[in-house]
Structure 1
Amino acid sequence: MAHVRTASAKLLMGKDNLPTREQVVEAGERIRGLVVETPLRPLRLGGHAVWLKCESLQTGGSFKLRGASNRLALLNEAERRAGVVAFSSGNHAQGVAIAARRLGIPATIVMPADAPAPKVAGTREQGADIVFYDRVSEDRVAISHALAAERGAVVVPSFDDPHIIVGQGTAGLELLSQCPEPVRRIIVCCGGGGLAAGLALAVPEAEIVVVEPEGWDDMRRSLELGHIVPVPADARPTACDALQTPLVSPLTFGVLQARGATGVSVSEDDVRAAVRFAWHELGLVVEPGGAAALAAALAGKVTLEAGTVVMVTGGNMDPATHAAWVA
């Protein structure tokens, strides 16, 4: 494992108080050896040659280890002893738990009671403590901050943190080094927008298209309206548990707005079709939230052309549920 530099978590922000590409490059150096290089696979869709970036094959089953490793590597010794608290339905939970175990940092994860069993098990196997909450009636952010205050711990958000954003952006640096042609468009699943914002910083020449489940497409609507709007209170549940973010952050919205990003939404049927396609055509287990960008490409929601990269962001799906979907 690479040597990890410990430092204060202060980050000098760039224009408009937003993180910069240079900070993504620094994060890439910092987490070298703490994440694996995930494959960039060629794929033919609708007569077009595109690329599939398989972050579902990252350690922990999603891109989340990138941001978590970067954030925790920056904790000072006192902060490491006090530990961290994170809130997540699963993928960020596992990323933080893995990074914390490697660095010898105590971790507590606040997870919804209905989180997928494999994500709960994966988080627990890494040695993290889990505190469950009711997704409908309780506030995960308030619970996390209360626990952190009680323990003197550091809260590690899943997307509303510049260190998380630039850490996720290292996936963009990686795909630039892998792709044999210029990257012109990136289609990316979006919950809070940490990965999308990181990619927007890392690959400034590419168009960024965020993809969300229908009803949970607050980033799309926020970008179209020019200001942040929440998910409606009556939004129907979605199988894309990793993308159920009720409100995006000024940081992720600011980066994506500055880059002129656009958004589309996909239906539950679109997502199911993408999960099936990934398994039958590509041999990949992809969870619903991790398949949203592929769903948009398959459903014709985004124009495909040379230099298009589709992000497959997570593969942590309950085996029985996956078997039923792909049968």
Structure 2
Amino acid sequence: TDDIDIGATEKILQALDAERRSAQDGQASVPVLPLVRSLAFAIQYREMSSGAFTWLTDFIGYGIALEDAELLNPNANNNPAGYDALQLQSQAFDNLHKTMTEDYFSLVEFGLGPNVVAMPAPEGNESAWFADIPVMEYLIDYLSEQSGTPWVVIPATRNQLFFVNTAATAEEWGALLDALEPTIEYHNGIYPLPHSIIDGQWVEQPIDTETEWGRRLHTLQLQARTISYNAQAEVLSATENNIASYKALSITTVDGAEHDMSFALVPEAWITTSVPRTDLLFFESGNSGTMVPWQGVVDRLPHLIEQQPDVHPPRYTVKRPTLQEMELLQLLGL
């Protein structure tokens, strides 16, 4: 076990706790914690009030859980008496802070050496800390300062929150991916990709596909996004009839290299199509069609694509192109 002393974190926590407790003065504590989950899990709560689920990224969010790990609906009758959504949230973070030792965080090695460490508590819900961005940012900065290289955070499952040194060796990344790849099928899986914090927000890290482990990470990203987008499409298709799915394919370039990419189908028969954010768009035309890079459409025919507001993960409305626009798309096609 590798204990990393981060005593200065207490100063941050004390300030945060003072602010959070102000919303619940005079009330008894209730046993709630933040519960970080994937979109595929959270999509069933889409009809609940905004206080029920808070988005941290396009694919990850958190709710508030009792000991049985079920999300609470702030409008439900079984909420603790006198608590609204904000107060429950404040209580959850207060309880989370109480799970750590008084003056330091204890990050533990995962058996892959000091370049991969994990949060050890609260047991069974370690990824709850992913919801506490100020604390996570402090930990990332601390680890980066100690090693002289950037660190990233991977919320793999509800009980696996990894901190990874970006300078980890190919062997270390390979061994970590052996552990990460199966998690996308787990019931408690979240979204096992590297994240950093920029301007107080979680940002998914760009993936360098020049390495073998980078290509594996990219494939894992495609698989994770396929699960999330298709869960979203299943729900939306119940009430809308123009929903395109997220699909993956392998393309061989002129130099013989294979690239895994994502695409969505834009049917010729639909006036507008709701598509996920993909690498490519396939515009149907007669008995065939044209595969066009997303960025090419945005650059040359920006009026065809409009982002839909307040949708997680992001979706876009694509208009059916005119004959003249289709000719241009064919010139842009692969």
TM class, shorter-chain normalised? under 0.3
Structure number with the higher strand fraction is 2
> Whose RCO is larger (CA < 8 A, sep 6+)?
1
Larger radius of gyration: 2
Structure number with the higher helix fraction is 1
TM-score normalised by structure 1 residue count: 0.26
